[in-house]
Structure 1
Amino acid sequence: MRGSLFLSHPAVDYRLRPSLGHMLLWTALLFLAPAVGTRDLPKAVVSLEPPWINVIREDAVTLKCHGASTPGDHSIQWFHNGSSIPTQVQRRYSFNARNTDSGDYRCQTGQTSLSDPVHLGVFSDWLLLQTSSRVFQEGNPIMLRCHSWKNKPLIKITYFHNKKALKFFQQNLNFSIPHANLSHSGEYYCTGFIGRTSYTSESVAIVIQTNLTDSEEAAKVEAEKIVTYSLLSHHDGTEEEAEPPAFQKHL
């Protein structure tokens, strides 16, 4: 009995080896498949509705995930400060803001890679200057909103830029700049009355960026001509590089 039992083991083991190898191969392919399949997928995009990146506690906020997915697929993944939100599987993610809701939000659909982060700031204050971004491209519009806690009636509103009054409204809450230019960079805030009490919002730093691709290329060509001429005319001449001052953001 021992002999036959001993001889049967190699036979059984021999028959199992091919299937075990196939199992290991398929397991490896399954682990590799997600990485290969998502490598070249487009990024999802997160947007805010309304578009304000800063809100007051208890404000209604809706985040929306944009990206391709198959019909009927609701397997949207949401992330807050790097942690998954397992209860959220829809494209729209709505909530009344709490202080703990501040932070970065990302999303991903079944046919997209992880989105870039969108930062939401939640504040506890009576008055807040809201903006859709802290960085705008030159030529694009800027919309600012002087917002009161719980949307309490707000009157006699003044918008300020670098401590200089820009515009006074008796009741209008929004202030727009149709075409931003570099001079619009700086610190913005607003003041207003809730009842008979005057309030001032915290400052918001806004930066205007310009796309100088063509101008930079022209300047580079012109600079190269000047340097070439200088080198030909003065073999012992020296060249100095001057770096433009960096814009310091105060957030």
Structure 2
Amino acid sequence: MWRLLPPTALLLLASGRSRSEGLPKAALSLRPEWDRLLERDPVTLTCQGDRVEEDSSARWWHNGTLLPGQASSLSIASARVNDSGEYRCQTNRSALSDPLRLQVVAAWLVLQARRWVVQAGEPIVMRCHSWKNLPVYRVQFFQNGRGKKFSRNNQDFHIPAATGQHNGSYFCRGMIQDRRNESSEAVQVIVLGVATPPVPTSPPGKLAIVSLLPGLLFVLDTALYLSVRRDLRRALKKGRSDRVTWSKGPEDKQEQ
């Protein structure tokens, strides 16, 4: 990360970190709340953190580069692909925030979610968003390539309580203005805290038999192979000894 910073930004970041040691981190929020956007979508990032009274300034970094301006919010009126990347901020009485990553996609449809990583039991809220909010019909949502929901014009997909069955890759498809059949890119949804089934335990005797089973199978396979090979050799030898050769006898010569 340090290689991306120009010298001035590096000095400001280093001095800011030294002054903010022990302070709570700033927090970043999005409005709208989607971190995956289409080109021309508007988005506003807000830096929340402790401040000196009557001072609402904040410093902003994009992909490690210090941005000009010190407003508490960073507004992007019409997003572009090069607006994608990692954003961080810091107020005058907070430590540097955790990174927030935006992805701006050049496409007709994008699958959006409030969060891509959720705890088991929490809701999953997704929507199939179109470029410039054009009308979308016959909306379908897919999980791991299998259809999960179909609607004539509802672009939202809601799972009330996430379980391990909801882990996977999701995308959406729809007809834009009844003319273009488009699909979004697939995105991974991860459900944390899912209980894994316990591994069954076996009694010591059964465990010993199971551990010896591969060796026993190998011995049996080897014995069977040698037996078949021996019988095959015997059959070949017998075939050679039983081979019939024909030659003309005296009576055949007389007939000539």
Structure 1 and Structure 2 fold alike (TM over 0.5): yes
Query: Is residue 196 of structure 2 the alignment partner of residue 209 of structure 1?
Result: no
- Calculate the TM-score normalised by the size of structure 1: 0.69
User: Counterpart of 1:19?
Assistant: none
Alignment of 1:123-142 (within 5 A): 123-142=105-124
Q: SS in structure 1 opposite 2:34?
A: coil
Query: Is residue 182 of structure 2 the alignment partner of residue 199 of structure 1?
Result: yes
User: Counterpart of 1:45?
Assistant: 27
Q: Check 1:119–1:70 CA distance in 2 against 1; reply closer, same or farther (3 A cut).
A: same
122, 132, 145: which one aligns with 2:127:
145
User: Counterpart of 1:160?
Assistant: 142
Rounded to whole Å, the distance in 2 between the matches of 1:98 and 1:119 is: 14
User: Counterpart of 2:98?
Assistant: 116
- Residue by residue over 1:25-59, the C-alpha shift from the partner in whole angstroms, topping out at 9 and shown as x without a partner, is xxxxxxx9966642100011111111111100110
Deviation of 1:90 (Å): 1.9
Alignment of 1:4-43 (within 5 A): 37-43=19-25
Q: SS in structure 2 opposite 1:208?
A: strand
Rounded to whole Å, the distance in 1 between the matches of 2:190 and 2:160 is: 15
- Calculate the TM-score normalised by the size of structure 2: 0.67
Aligned residue pairs, count: 189
Structure 1: segments with no counterpart, 5+ residues: 1-31, 220-225, 231-251
Q: Check 1:118–1:34 CA distance in 2 against 1; reply closer, same or farther (3 A cut).
A: closer
Q: Check 1:101–1:33 CA distance in 2 against 1; reply closer, same or farther (3 A cut).
A: closer
Deviation of 1:72 (Å): 1.8
Rounded to whole Å, the distance in 2 between the matches of 1:211 and 1:109 is: 37
- Residue by residue over 1:144-185, the C-alpha shift from the partner in whole angstroms, topping out at 9 and shown as x without a partner, is 110111111111101111111111111111111111111111
- Paired-residue identity, %: 40
Q: Check 1:143–1:200 CA distance in 2 against 1; reply closer, same or farther (3 A cut).
A: same
Larger radius of gyration: 2
- Runs of 4+ aligned structure 1 residues displaced above 4 Å come to 32-37
User: Counterpart of 1:92?
Assistant: 73
